[in-house]
Structure 1
Amino acid sequence: MREQYLAPNETMQIHELLNLKTICMTTSKMMEGVVFDQDLKALLEKDVQQSIKSIENLQRLLNKAPKLR
């Protein structure tokens, strides 16, 4: 069976999504420290956990990108 690789434009788009999710996660994590409302803190923590899962999934996708030699 033939291995499937990502096209160069797909690889670039996944990199862009990865950058966006990383920035969003970092922002939510930083905001947790300055927020006093417990409900909002819980939402921010949930966002961080979901972002971590998304980042891991995007990193797995990047493993399908062709390797440069």
Structure 2
Amino acid sequence: MRANLGVHETVELHELLVFKNTCLTKANTLSGLAQDEALKTILDADLTATKKEVQDIQGFLS
């Protein structure tokens, strides 16, 4: 799929991947620190969704 992307699109996907990895790290850290069960549930759902998004973006870049 990468052959079909322009240089600017590849760079933007890399920027998005860096942002999503930062979000993943933050949600993972906060999930361990959170004491409220509702907040933990939200953070766990966010972790699951963000992991899928990171895999999708990596699929575009490979």
Q: TM-score range by the shorter chain?
A: over 0.9
In the TM superposition, what are the counterparts of 1:11-22 in structure 2 within 5 Å?
Answer: 11-22=10-21
In the TM superposition, what are the counterparts of 1:42-61 in structure 2 within 5 Å?
Answer: 42-61=41-60
Deviations 1:11-63 (A, max 9, x none): 00000000000000110000011110000000000000000000000000012
Note the aligned Cα RMSD (angstroms). 0.8
Determine the structure 2 residue equivalent to 1:27. Answer: 26
Structure 2 runs not aligned, ≥5 long: none
Structure 1 runs not aligned, ≥5 long: 64-69
Q: TM-score, normalised by structure 1?
A: 0.84
| Count of matched residue pairs | 60
Q: TM-score, normalised by structure 2?
A: 0.93
What is the identity, as a one-letter code, of the residue corresponding to 2:4?
A: Y
4+ long deviations beyond 2 Å? none
Determine the structure 2 residue equivalent to 1:10. Answer: 9
Identity of aligned residues (%): 32
If you compute each CA radius of gyration, which structure gives the higher value, 1 or 2? 1
